[in-house]
Structure 1
Amino acid sequence: MNTKYLIKQFEDKPLAHYAYAIVSGGEMVLIDPARNPQPYYDFAKEQDVKIVGVVETHPHADFVSSHLEISLTTGATVYTSKLVGAEYPHHGFDDGDKMNIGSVKLKSLNTPGHSPDSICVVLEGEGKDIAVFTGDTLFIGDCGRPDLRETARKITATREALAKEMFHSLRNRLMPLNDDVLVYPAHGAGTLCGKGLSEANSSTMGAEKLTNWSLQKCTEEEFVKQLMADQPFIPKYFGFDVALNKKGANDFLAGISGVPRLEKINDEFDAHKLEADVIIIDTRPQQQFKAAHFANSINIQIGGKFETWLGSIINPIEWFYLTAETESQLTELIERIAKIGYEAQIKGAFVGSFDTTIPSFLDLTNFSAHQTDYTIIDIRNMSEVSEKQIFETAIHIPLAELRERVKEIPTEKPIVVHCAGGYRSAIGSSIINNSLAGKAVYDLGEAVTAF
């Protein structure tokens, strides 16, 4: 093992996010830290080192960073590109800028493309480049999407302009790095910051030059066309998080401890104590939800990409209630919600039992034999529908757009909602149920896999 420096990767699986610690000579620098800073404090204590710096490769859209909190707590300097226009105390870190950590150095490369202010960070030791921390510029098997800054309030840039910049950043800034340079991205497979990432959590520049589509020989026009095609949807919270990261978020623990806890719900609980026009995010398993739930509830289950779907359905600054099966799950969920900066929107959080709903379940035999007797709503993403249409008569409304487009759904027939495996259809059917009161709405659930 190299005794002069240490690289530690931290993974947040639900958000497919990677943060990094670089340790050398009793000092530690963090790159793109997640909202909860405690794991980094614990690691610094374990290594008996001092956190002296935090690097932000860009203002992140898909999660809230703890860079400001870490700086205020430890005295570490925050480094980011001057192009960010960061509103927190920081040190500009752009082309030609370097910082020393023990016996190694970090140097900045401006790599616009995913955002106009993106940088990549090269680790240099003993006169050679060892690794590059690529943020959302270069992923394993892909590169960052260029279309997230068109809705980021004042920090906007067109996707076409950024796609062209990405073409040149990859070729002029990253491809000249030696083949043995290690590649450490900010995200892995499952992120919405790219469209075709590998399951691998690291690579080398040599391997990426051979296999990554975005580094292959092509014209700028061909690259732009391929990069802009079939990008995933953009969750509602992305622009909000860009602005929040540019400003710097409040302390993590203060945010989650400030969430109001309502008294435990029981059979005698008066549901009218909840404000009728505030959405309830019910995170229990779908079978429990279907059996009984309060009105105005959306069933986003605790498993899966909970925070991504919450931030895709609930608008920034929109109030909501949160409920779960247990207190421990409730605590976990509040922490996960804080990762996207939505903790201040929780009107109240509670656990308990429910007895206000009459369950209704789809007759699968009848549905299979008489599909035209139902209005079928396909809530999968556009790319999924393009690849395979499950029901010929289905109306396609992506889940992320469903709350805004539910009035487009015909109501003359019973409504059946499906996705690819059942997780999203539980969300979708509950959204439609709220908006089309009195109509028959069914969730096809996991049964979709039989069609």
Structure 2
Amino acid sequence: MVVHQFYDKGLAHASYAVIRTGRMIVIDPSRDPQPYYAFAELHGADIAGVIETHPHADFVSSHLEIHQTTGAVIYVSKLAGAGYPHETFDEGDVIHINDIKLKALNTPGHSPDSICILLEDESGKDCAIFTGDTLFAGDVGRPDLRENAGNITAKKEELARDMYHSTRSKLMTLPKDVTVYPAHGPGSLCGKSMSPDLQTTIGKELRENYALQLMDEVDFVKALTTDQPFMPRYFSYDVELNKMGAPAFIQSVNAVVKADADIAFEQDVLLVDTRPAAAYRKGHVKGSINLQDAEKFETWLGSVVAPYEPFYLLAETDEALDAVIKKTAKIGYEVNIKAALLIPQSATERSPVIDLEHFKSNKSHYTIIDARNWAEINSGKLFTNALTIPLPELRERVNEIPTHKPVVVHCAAGYRSAAAAGIIAAQIQNVPVYDLSEAIKDFN
């Protein structure tokens, strides 16, 4: 028996393959199915099935494409309301791969239709469990993503109560040596306090996971519904897309229009410049925003840009452009790309450079914008008089920023402030807008 984890650090997403006697089952696949095809070929296996633990909010799955390409059966809970060919997989259902079994457990909490998959090995022992977004290393799935999305909607308090009972009756009763394979690791927005471990055990979680400690239902609900991270704009969109099944990855990527670098941009269509901040500051298209192609590009793109909102995608080289198109497709936003192109000759707008010494001595002369997330802001402001507008809220709240003083934007390390400064500068042009960037470290 082979159990293999595929990990996408950008989305902190883990998917899995289970192989036994030439048959392979894929669990919670990412948008690009090629790694699973390659792994099956490496092991001389046929992909016989794909299991979706729930309709995912934070990435687009390739379950439908894998089915269409290989004929693999898609398994998902009957509660998901799946709009693609599938077999239901709920409590009591079993997938046999020769002499091992994959057994479904209904575990509502993160979503009403969540399942976990318990793996029974060839000796008849329960040895591992694939927990989707129900149980993570150090955390459990947030309960507030399905209040307005999916086949079944539920209030976060209701799902938090479901999570209490799912963990207590279904997971915490398993043998302590059962390996836990979750769908996410640290950095995912599907939980709030994940540990760095990409796999764990039931015993370790019983000892260390705050959500599995002794507490009553009321205290559990309060703990689980408090201080969850922000919800990117694309989450509900991806739930609905995954519920129906996304179009094939490579065909969708290849359908993106690649335009000449000096095309005339349509008015009021957002321009997303994906270069490093230093290059952007030296010269960019007026009105563009800087979302750098870094580790969390997909998350921030889906936090700043709304579903169905068209945008231009800009990069420095053909290779870089291809890379960001594929990352955009991982959240299903490739259909929003009006055109993808290299940096045009019109990219001559330079960002102003702040005089740090003057700023340090005369902070009251500036309007300071704190673009961090609310959890960071609530833990303490770095500048007492800063106006707090997290990056995901900024495009709707720019009109709250006073325009009688120069504006200085900061975050925690420089990525979000680079994006925020571009958003503000596109709408406020009578005063300079400065990105404090990495200099924020001087004020920590």
TM-score range, shorter chain: over 0.9
2:257 maps to 1:228:
no
Residues 36, 252 of structure 1: 8 Å contact kept:
yes
In the TM superposition, what is the alpha-carbon distance from 1:385 to its structure 2 partner? 1.3
Aligned-partner residue type, residue 302 of structure 2? G
Residues 417, 435 of structure 2: 8 Å contact kept:
yes
Counterpart secondary structure, 1:447: helix
Distance 2:351 2:79 in 1: 54
Residues 124-163 of structure 1: matches in 2 within 5 Å? 124-125=120-121, 126-152=123-149, 155-163=152-160
Distance 2:113 2:429 in 1: 47
Distance 1:83 1:353 in 2: 49
2:333 maps to 1:337:
no
Counterpart secondary structure, 1:33: coil
**TM-score, normalising length: structure 1:** 0.96
Residues 259-274 of structure 1: matches in 2 within 5 Å? 259-263=256-260, 265=261, 269=262, 273-274=264-265
2:169 maps to 1:172:
yes
Aligned-partner residue type, residue 112 of structure 2? P
What do residues 269-303 of structure 1 show as CA deviations (whole Å, max 9, x unaligned)? 36xx1112111110111121112111221100011
Aligned-partner residue type, residue 133 of structure 1? F
In the TM superposition, what is the alpha-carbon distance from 1:386 to its structure 2 partner? 1.8
Counterpart secondary structure, 1:332: helix
2:279 to 271, 278, 288: 288
Distance 2:115 2:351 in 1: 52
Distance 1:420 1:155 in 2: 37
Aligned equivalent of 1:278: 269
Residues 44-123 of structure 1: matches in 2 within 5 Å? 44-123=40-119
2:440 maps to 1:443:
no
2:367 maps to 1:375:
yes
Counterpart secondary structure, 1:421: coil
What do residues 303-351 of structure 1 show as CA deviations (whole Å, max 9, x unaligned)? 1300000000100000000011111011011111100000011010111
More moved, 292-301 vs 215-224: 292-301
Aligned equivalent of 1:217: 214
Distance 2:108 2:150 in 1: 18
In the TM superposition, what is the alpha-carbon distance from 1:153 to its structure 2 partner? 5.9
Distance 2:4 2:135 in 1: 19
1:325 to 313, 316, 327: 316
Aligned equivalent of 1:412: 404
Residues 26, 102 of structure 1: 8 Å contact kept:
no
Residues 9, 295 of structure 2: 8 Å contact kept:
no
2:399 maps to 1:402:
no
1:194 to 191, 195, 200: 191
Aligned equivalent of 1:307: 298
With over 3 angstroms needed to count, the CA separation of the structure-2 counterparts of 1:232 and 1:8, relative to structure 1, is: same
What do residues 7-40 of structure 1 show as CA deviations (whole Å, max 9, x unaligned)? 0000000000000000001100000000000000
Aligned-partner residue type, residue 31 of structure 1? I
What do residues 365-384 of structure 1 show as CA deviations (whole Å, max 9, x unaligned)? 10000001100000101111
With over 3 angstroms needed to count, the CA separation of the structure-2 counterparts of 1:11 and 1:247, relative to structure 1, is: same
In the TM superposition, what is the alpha-carbon distance from 1:358 to its structure 2 partner? 3.7
Q: Which runs of 5 or more residues in structure 2 are unaligned?
A: none
Residues 20-59 of structure 1: matches in 2 within 5 Å? 20-59=16-55
In the TM superposition, what is the alpha-carbon distance from 1:406 to its structure 2 partner? 0.9
Distance 1:155 1:344 in 2: 26
- Across the two proteins, how many residue pairs are aligned to each other? 441
Aligned equivalent of 2:243: 246
Distance 2:221 2:439 in 1: 39
Residues 276, 296 of structure 1: 8 Å contact kept:
no
Counterpart secondary structure, 1:59: coil
Distance 2:228 2:408 in 1: 27
In the TM superposition, what is the alpha-carbon distance from 1:359 to its structure 2 partner? 3.4
Aligned-partner residue type, residue 445 of structure 1? S
Aligned-partner residue type, residue 20 of structure 1? Y
Aligned equivalent of 2:201: 204
Aligned-partner residue type, residue 387 of structure 2? I
Residues 419-430 of structure 1: matches in 2 within 5 Å? 419-430=411-422
Residues 184, 202 of structure 1: 8 Å contact kept:
yes
Aligned equivalent of 1:362: 354
Distance 1:358 1:183 in 2: 50
Aligned equivalent of 2:383: 391
With over 3 angstroms needed to count, the CA separation of the structure-2 counterparts of 1:256 and 1:174, relative to structure 1, is: same
Distance 1:291 1:88 in 2: 48
Kindly, what percent of the aligned residue pairs are identical?
A: 54
